[in-house]
Amino acid sequence: MGIAENIRKIKDALKEGVCLVAVSKTKPDADLLEAYGAGQRVFGENKVQELVQKYESLPKDIEWHFIGHLQTNKVKYIAPFVGMIHGVDSLKLLKTIDKEGRKAGRKIACLLQFHIAEEETKFGLDLAEAREILTSDEFTQLEFVEIRGVMGMATYTNDTEQIRREFRQLKSIFNQLKQEFFVGRDSFSEISMGMSGDFPIAVEEGSTMVRVGSSIFGDRQYA
């Protein structure tokens, strides 16, 4: 099946209001243009250099989301144009994003990444660490970051009940933070969860943003 058809099928399966982030990492510009031709405008990348190259060569009305682990020394390359940074998991990174946002003259949308999976290797905060960041004086002084919600990745497993539990946990973290720190702030509204293997469960559990790669573009080949 072609890319355009894959996108149409996935969009049909999403609830209204759920944003599809087309994860195009490792894929050539031609593939992204095919998705673009099918109306797709939000793309996700996880490498800074690749993101910058694609931003430069592809249409300017694309909204680029950074979905990977972001090193502080690379924030400056994407700050002028990035639409959202999904994987924020430290105050240090937030402070750098703020600094680069200030230089670029724009407020940068960020999601706090939470560790919900069983695997040790996945990045992310727990609720206590997030509270520590959000209550710190340093955080409250930041003017060029906007926390728009939360992001997480479920364990890579066939156990759908486990996946569902982990997504529920992220939704509950979102609700907690909303209540404690973002009451009445409509901008805190996103729950980025769900990938090719698990996005239907994520949507059932309240996802507002799914990050889908291989179900759109096919399997990735890593050189």
Ligand X SMILES: *Cc1c(COP(=O)(O)O)cnc(C)c1O
**Token pair of 23, please?**
């994860």
We find the least distance from the C-beta atom of residue 154 to ligand X, in angstroms, to be: 11
One of 6, 24, 40, 46 touching ligand X (CB under 6 A):
46
We find the least distance from the C-beta atom of residue 137 to ligand X, in angstroms, to be: 31
- Binding to ligand X in span 203-222, by CB under 6 A: 211-215
Site mask for ligand X (CB under 6 A), range 158-197, x = bound: -------------------------------------xxx
**Token pair of 169, please?**
């946990």
One of 20, 23, 35, 108 touching ligand X (CB under 6 A):
23
CA distance 25 to 207: 22
- Indicate the residue type of 29: D
- Binding to ligand X in span 65-84, by CB under 6 A: 67-68
CA distance 84 to 106: 12
Pick 142 or 154: Cβ nearer ligand X:
154
- Indicate the residue type of 54: K
Pick 208 or 215: Cβ nearer ligand X:
215
CA distance 186 to 147: 11
Pick 176 or 214: Cβ nearer ligand X:
214
CA distance 131 to 86: 18
Angle, in degrees to the nearest 10, between helices 3-13 and 29-37: 50
Residue 18, sorted as left (phi over 0), alpha (psi -120 to 50) or beta, turns out to be beta
**Number of residues located near ligand X, criterion CB under 6 A:** 14
Told to check if 90 binds ligand X by CB under 6 A, we report no
* 3-state SS class at 2: coil
We find the least distance from the C-beta atom of residue 141 to ligand X, in angstroms, to be: 29
Give residues in contact with ligand X (CB under 6 A). Answer: 23, 25, 46, 67-68, 153, 195-197, 211-215
